[in-house]
Chains A and B, each alone.
Chain A
Amino acid sequence: MIKLETINANVYYGASHALKNISMQLESNTVTALIGPSGCGKSTYLRLFNRMNDLIENIRIEGEILIDGKNIYQKGTNVDSLRKSTGMIFQKPNPFPKSIFENVAYGLRVNGISDAAFIQERVETSIQQVALWDEVKDKLKKSAFELSGGQQQRLCIARALAIQPSIILMDEPTSALDPISTSKIEELMYELKTKYTIVIVTHNMQQAARVSDKTAFFYLGELIEYSKTKELFTNPKIEKTQNYITGRFG
């Protein structure tokens, strides 16, 4: 099933043309990896789906960006509730300066949920979903900053899951983590994709190969190649892709 789709998406930052005519369909319950050298537009593309690009000054977005067939840039779209249906994970773990519990509860509270029992239940389930429960269950009231980087990143994923999104957008989620924490996050992605549609931006091609079902290669704002991960890495159709994945540039 098609979950996310862009039709002729163009993004301009002032005069620079950051995304050029991107038409692409992303399937539900899959992990789609976006790869390409820095500045190729992959992060910008990711941020189309929760309208996070809106926060940038002087940005112009053209074309259609669809979630479940609905154009999310149409007038009258409720941006807050759109963002509730997408969870975002960032490059650096960025828990809020709050307790572990309150970090996960935050998304519920800002959306007006105050039922303590419900919040308790959601927080617990979300932390269990990211396999962090056993590590933190005795210190839920402690500051989230006391956790290790890898734990913090899993907490951030739990924070995103708590508001029950259907899409998870990850912007280089493991680039600040050690190998063990990285593999934990990757395992997690494998489990999460049964329930969620995951899009991940990564600089690490081994990671893309390990975790994703489909991979899109971006270069200078253009979508060069998009296919099943296995195909793209073993048998790329386009020379640029070949050159990039073999490390000849990037």
Chain B
Amino acid sequence: MKLPDENKLEKLKKRRQRIAFIILGTIGYSIVAILISILTFIIVKGISVISWDFLTSMPEEGMTKGGIFPAILGSFYLVTGSIIVAFPIGIMAAIYMNEYVKHGTAKKIIKQMTNNLAGVPSIVFGLFGMALFVNKLGFGDSIIAGSFTLGLLILPIIIRTTEEALKSVDDTFRQASIGLGASKWQTTKNVVLPIAFPKIITGMILSIGRVSGETAPILFTVAAYFLPRLPQSMFDQAMALPYHLYVLATSGTNISESRPMAYGTALVLVVIVLFTNLLANALRKYFSNKVKMN
């Protein structure tokens, strides 16, 4: 058999390598390009309306003038409310799964259900929230109904990130504590949770990003088209950024005039989400330096 010419073979290999590299590189960079163009688009279109007034005043003249303060405030209420609902439940569920029932049917069932919950479309959460919190429990369209609905939505995220955080705690910490005569609960409370804390916080912040952007779950449970005054209690309706954006873009009194306001709202929303993600990263770094594992 004649061996192929070594020079030719080398050239061929190099050319193929270059082609593969170019294709993969192009795809990789085009993803960055897509993100940047979305951001640029929103910034360019929206930056003109951004002002202190825009952030702090009520909408005026059929939402073609004025600001989006009630929507920002409403989103803030909803984020806070849903965290208050989901955080304790999620953490406790994760502790139960990871620390108490290491294996076995109970864990499998909870885990499977959590995954299923994560896969439910958010509009279904909205419908469920309307049926249960708005109607059955009689909260009406309200911040509390919206917070519960969004809380259910992010529950799987919180359970999962908490579970990951707990799993990452080296088992010898548990053994050392139990070896000193501590109970499982003492061990979890005093040793495992403090070590896992940075990662748990990260999960919480990521879910803030998720909550602030969700529209479907708040559609039937809390969001108002327009409110002339700010919510007075948690049983009031509220405006919220994503829904406000939808209203401005599709069903305002004068869509073409409120278009810049829509882009401004989108910009605010995007900035909030990006900011929370950056904050999550920064906190994770900060804490992992502080609680240095060796």
A-to-B contact residues, CB < 8 Å: 50, 52, 55, 57, 80-81, 83-84, 86-88, 90-94, 96-98, 106-107, 110-111, 145, 149, 152, 156, 159-160, 163
Residue in contact with B181 in the complex, picked from A81, A94, A145, A152, CB distance below 8 Å: A81
Q: Which residues of A contact B251 (CB under 8 A)?
A: none
Q: How far is the CA of A98 from the CA of B177 in the complex (A)?
A: 13
Q: Which residues of A contact B194 (CB under 8 A)?
A: 96-98
Contacts A88-B175, A90-B172, A94-B173: A111 and B291 contacting too (C-beta < 8 A)?
A: no
B11 at the interface (CB under 8 A from A): no
Listed by A's residue number, 19 A-B pairs whose Cβ atoms lie within 8 Å are A50-B179, A80-B182, A83-B179, A88-B175, A88-B179, A92-B170, A94-B173, A96-B173, A96-B176, A96-B191, A97-B191, A97-B195, A97-B291, A107-B180, A107-B182, A110-B177, A111-B180, A156-B176, A159-B176
Q: Which residues of B contact A50 (CB under 8 A)?
A: 179
Least distance between A86 CB and chain B CB atoms (Å): 7
B175 touching A80 by the CB < 8 A rule? no
Q: How far is the CA of A50 from the CA of B181 in the complex (A)?
A: 10
Residue in contact with A110 in the complex, picked from B170, B181, B195, CB distance below 8 Å: B181
Contacts A110-B186, A145-B294: A92 and B179 contacting too (C-beta < 8 A)?
A: no
B123 at the interface (CB under 8 A from A): no
Q: How far is the CA of A110 from the CA of B179 in the complex (A)?
A: 11
Q: Which residues of A contact B112 (CB under 8 A)?
A: none
Residue in contact with B179 in the complex, picked from A81, A87, A149, CB distance below 8 Å: A87
Q: How far is the CA of A52 from the CA of B291 in the complex (A)?
A: 26
B42 at the interface (CB under 8 A from A): no
B103 touching A110 by the CB < 8 A rule? no
B102 at the interface (CB under 8 A from A): yes
Number of A-B residue pairs with CB-CB distance less than 8 Å in the complex they form: 77
Q: Which residues of B contact A145 (CB under 8 A)?
A: 291-292, 294
Chain B, 151-199, CB within 8 A of any chain A CB: 170, 172-183, 186, 190-191, 194-195
B-to-A contact residues, CB < 8 Å: 102-103, 170, 172-183, 186, 190-191, 194-195, 291-292, 294
Residue of B nearest to A108 (CB): B180
Looking at B175, B179, B292, the one whose CB has the most chain A CB atoms below 10 A away is: B179
Nearest 6 Cβ contacts at the A-B interface: A107-B180, A84-B181, A110-B182, A88-B179, A90-B172, A110-B186
B180 touching A110 by the CB < 8 A rule? yes
Q: Which residues of B contact A83 (CB under 8 A)?
A: 178-181
Q: How far is the CA of A152 from the CA of B293 in the complex (A)?
A: 12
Q: How far is the CA of A94 from the CA of B292 in the complex (A)?
A: 11
Residue in contact with A80 in the complex, picked from B172, B181, B191, B292, CB distance below 8 Å: B181
Residue in contact with A55 in the complex, picked from B175, B181, B183, B294, CB distance below 8 Å: B175
A90 touching B176 by the CB < 8 A rule? yes
B180 touching A159 by the CB < 8 A rule? yes
B103 touching A57 by the CB < 8 A rule? yes
Q: How far is the CA of A86 from the CA of B176 in the complex (A)?
A: 11
Least distance between B168 CB and chain A CB atoms (Å): 13
Q: How far is the CA of A57 from the CA of B171 in the complex (A)?
A: 14
Q: How far is the CA of A130 from the CA of B176 in the complex (A)?
A: 18
B180 touching A160 by the CB < 8 A rule? yes
B181 touching A106 by the CB < 8 A rule? no
B172 touching A94 by the CB < 8 A rule? yes
Q: Which residues of B contact A106 (CB under 8 A)?
A: 177, 180, 182, 190
Q: How far is the CA of A52 from the CA of B177 in the complex (A)?
A: 11
A110 touching B183 by the CB < 8 A rule? yes
Q: How far is the CA of A83 from the CA of B186 in the complex (A)?
A: 15
Q: How far is the CA of A97 from the CA of B192 in the complex (A)?
A: 9
Least distance between A75 CB and chain B CB atoms (Å): 20
Least distance between A162 CB and chain B CB atoms (Å): 8
Q: Which residues of A contact B182 (CB under 8 A)?
A: 80, 106-107, 110-111
A52 touching B170 by the CB < 8 A rule? no
Q: How far is the CA of A50 from the CA of B175 in the complex (A)?
A: 10
Least distance between A81 CB and chain B CB atoms (Å): 7
Q: Which residues of B contact A84 (CB under 8 A)?
A: 180-181
A96 touching B190 by the CB < 8 A rule? yes
B291 touching A163 by the CB < 8 A rule? no
A52 touching B178 by the CB < 8 A rule? yes
Q: Which residues of A contact B178 (CB under 8 A)?
A: 52, 55, 83
B294 touching A52 by the CB < 8 A rule? no
Q: Which residues of A contact B291 (CB under 8 A)?
A: 97, 145
Q: How far is the CA of A93 from the CA of B173 in the complex (A)?
A: 10
Q: How far is the CA of A19 from the CA of B206 in the complex (A)?
A: 47
Residue of B nearest to A169 (CB): B179
Q: How far is the CA of A50 from the CA of B195 in the complex (A)?
A: 24
Q: How far is the CA of A80 from the CA of B102 in the complex (A)?
A: 20
Q: Which residues of B contact A87 (CB under 8 A)?
A: 179-180
Residue of A nearest to B194 (CB): A97
